[in-house]
Amino acid sequence: MTLNRAFVMGHPISHSRSPMLHGYWLKRYGIEGSYERLDIPPQDVDTFFSRFSEAGWIGGNITVPHKTAVIPHLDHIDDAATKMGAVNTIWWEDGVLVGGNTDAIGFLGNIDELAPGWDMGAKRAVILGAGGATRAATYGLLSRGLTVALCNRTVSQAEVLASHFGAGVSAHGMSELPDLLATCDLLVNATSLGMIGQPPLDIDLSPLKKDAIVYDVIYVPLETELIKAAKARGHRSVDGLGMLLHQGVVGFNRWFKIKPEVTGELRQILIDDIRAKSPGA
């Protein structure tokens, strides 16, 4: 019997928790397969894909710095990957190698789980940042019918993203944040500020609507200062760990033909690993 082999590739890759996630599901569902961690330098990407079929890969996850570099090696990329300008999951579909991006699915799956009903009546979101996580959040929120205001210290970067997504997305400087908070239903931190080893996110939540939800895509630490401040003010809050869990569901289903469940046990396994490897998390 041929072993079904999937992977996560990046450079470096030793920090990735994806093998823990997919390894849990392989064991839970009794699947004869593997999910391997591949450290592939940028100069070796072409060689890797030239031997892709021969190696018997059924697909895999793509992380930094390869999310755009893999695109020329794929036969097709889906709408999400096109809109986000990056691929994080690849799979075979009727003999065609397809690239997609599941980050928006992870973003939405996480908030759907931790703040059920959050989008009932939600109209306006404010996202801090203009990087890859902002692209995922914007794509996901537009699909739920929200308008999105992008706030970034460098306004020109937010303007590029707003132009890319078009209708329903606007760009703003941080000086406009207080007014935006007063009318938003969801505040998302999509920057690295507040992560262990990074500068703090210095914003005042006092103008934020009382019933607004606060979502921080960071999960190291597990509870950021932003989440603590939101809870202290009585806001529903969402941490970023579930994004990793939920974005993995799609790839696993594509590769192994089973849609896995995000369980409390799985979440706790990752929480324990984060605390063990990141003092202060």
The set of catalytic residues is: 67
- Binding-site positions: 16-18, 63, 79, 88, 103, 129-133, 217, 219, 240, 247
Query: Residue 97: CB partners within 8 Å, gap ≥ 6?
Result: 52, 73, 74, 75, 76, 90, 91
Give dist(CA 188, CA 209) in Å, integer.
14
- Binding-site positions for NADP(+): 79, 129-133, 217, 240
Provide the β-strand partners of residue 5: 34, 57
- Binding-site positions for shikimate: 16-18, 63, 88, 103, 219, 247
Closest by CA position to 73, among listed 51, 102, 105? 51
**Residue for token digits 């999105």?**
148
Q: Tokens for 85, please give them.
A: 């300008």
B/e letters for 165-200, b = 16+ CB within 10 Å, e = fewer, are beeebebbebeebeebbeebbbbbbbbebbbeeeee
Give dist(CA 59, CA 132) in Å, integer.
22
Q: Tokens for 111, please give them.
A: 């908030």
